[in-house]
Amino acid sequence: MSKYLYTFILSLSFCLLMPATESFGQSKKEYIKAVAQKGDGIYVLLGRYHLDRSDCCLEQFCKLNGLKKNSSLKLGKTYKLPIRKYRYNQKSIRSTANIKDWQSAKQVERYNDLMVELGYKASDFRRGTRELWVPHHMKYCPLDVSKFIPKNRNFPIFGAKYSHVPLKDDKLAGAVYYIVAGHGGPDPGAMGKYNGKYLCEDEYANDIALRLARNLIEHGAIVYFIIRDKNDGIRNLEYLKPDMDERCWPNDVIPVSQKPRLTQRSDIINELYEQNRRRGIEYQRMIALHVDSRVKSKRIDLFFYHYPTSQAGKALASKLHYTMKKKYAVNRKTGEYHGTVTPRDLHMLREVKPLPIFIEVGNIQNPNDQKRILYPSNRQALADWLEEGLLKDY
């Protein structure tokens, strides 16, 4: 036998005996570690890393650390978390971590962004060391999001004509939205005048919000309509007659003073957020819709606010902004769009737990901007365009 052939056979045999490795040559499983702090139990430690709602993670944590579910943690001791480290291959999360399900990969992506946002993770997995964190349950015990699609397809809040909302697809299954139309009840918000009639911000924000909510429900989302008017519904009218009968979810009277009014909204959103988080839902967004008021001559395009220190909020605002820019390029004769993404320290951006976005759709004083909210087709277009951006975010 040729010595070259003999060498080749030996080399091939050696390769066949080598253990299988993960992407980028990872042959050893590495896990994120955390030090137990004062007052930490297993659930508290896992909760700090948003892992406390999964029995799958609890079991893996105990297995990794040789513990039982009712074990105590030792102050100052380092424990392995059920979060596996990978080196991102710059192609996809699925190929990096051998995840088959696309929605699970998106969940891993959002989890890594959240850990950066909270300061637990040093850098974005897309850059630098390309460290990707994969929680155990997202790979091995993925959430069945189909069970969260609302089975009842009748929603009276949209009015008799639009109350039945057929399920188009399940693109937003497992997503939760809290939609807050600005002002309402004793507060009409900004006011403008058109053909001798007063235009009230809360009525037009409410109609756009209803249209957006209905669009999202068509894709299987769970939507909470926080400021509610039981008898308005979606109105295909230019002039929306103002009233003061709006309530806050579920059916609470809206306070007159601003601070109690805003606190009422943020409190109920946070309560609902925790309820949904306990169900295992991690993708939750709050969308506040308003109509601005400026000098009559000032025309403004739809623009976005995010909380100053929130990179995830800025990213969401930028996605929606990009979608709007594309739509304006096609639908406005000049193709121009001057909407902005700006940080603001507002109550509804600072005090809510779901990732928030605050949207101003125009200047209620400006005659051209008034057309954007007066015409039902324009209000529907705004809802459709926002829906498109939110679909991309999920």
C-alpha span between 35 and 288 (Å, rounded): 38
Domain end among 142, 160, 195: 142
Q: Are residues 154 and 241 in the same domain?
A: yes
Q: Tell me: pLDDT of 7 over 90.
A: no
pLDDT above 50 (res 305)? yes
> Which domain CATH number covers 242?
3.40.630.40
**Are 164 and 239 contained in the same domain?**
yes
Please provide the average confidence, as pLDDT, over all residues in the chain.
Answer: 92
- Take residue 169 and report the two structure tokens written for it: 């697809």
The predicted pLDDT at position 12 comes to: 39
Distance CA 99, CA 94 (A): 4
Domain-embedded: residue 6: no
Secondary structure of residue 252 in the 3-state scheme:
strand
Distance CA 81, CA 315 (A): 28
pLDDT digits (tens, 9 = 90+) for 127-153: 999 999 999 999 999 888 999 999 999
Per-residue burial over 293-312, b = 16 or more CB atoms within 10 Å of its CB, e = otherwise: bbeeeeebbbbbbbbeebeb
Q: Return the higher-pLDDT residue of 393 and 103.
A: 393
One domain for residues 185 and 43: no
Average pLDDT over residues 64-83: 97
What is the average per-residue pLDDT within 12-29?
45
Mean pLDDT of 163-180: 97
The answer on 217 and 117 residing in a single domain is: no
What does the alpha-carbon distance between residue 131 and residue 128 come to, in Å, rounded to a whole number? 8
Q: Provide mean pLDDT across the span 7-19.
A: 39
Residue 371 backbone phi and psi in degrees, to 5? -65, -30
Same domain (yes/no): 138, 150: no
Q: How far apart are CA 234 and CA 376, in angstroms?
A: 9
Q: Which two tokens stand for residue 178?
A: 């809290």
Tell me which residue of 286, 351, 369, 357 sits closest to 323, measured CA to CA: 357
Is 61 a residue whose pLDDT tops 70?
Answer: yes
Query: Domain tally for the chain?
Result: 2
pLDDT tens profile 95-110 = 999 998 888 999 999 9
Question: Which pTM does this prediction carry?
Answer: 0.83
- Identify the domain containing residue 45 by its residue range: 23-142
> What percentage of the chain reaches a pLDDT higher than 70?
93
**Within-domain flag for 15:** no
Q: 1 in a domain, yes or no?
A: no
Over the stretch 245-259, which tens digit does the pLDDT of each residue have?
Answer: 999 999 999 999 999
Residue 167 CB contacts under 8 Å (≥ 6 apart), including other chains: 149, 153, 218, 220
- Of 341, 327, 226, residue with least CA distance to 285: 226
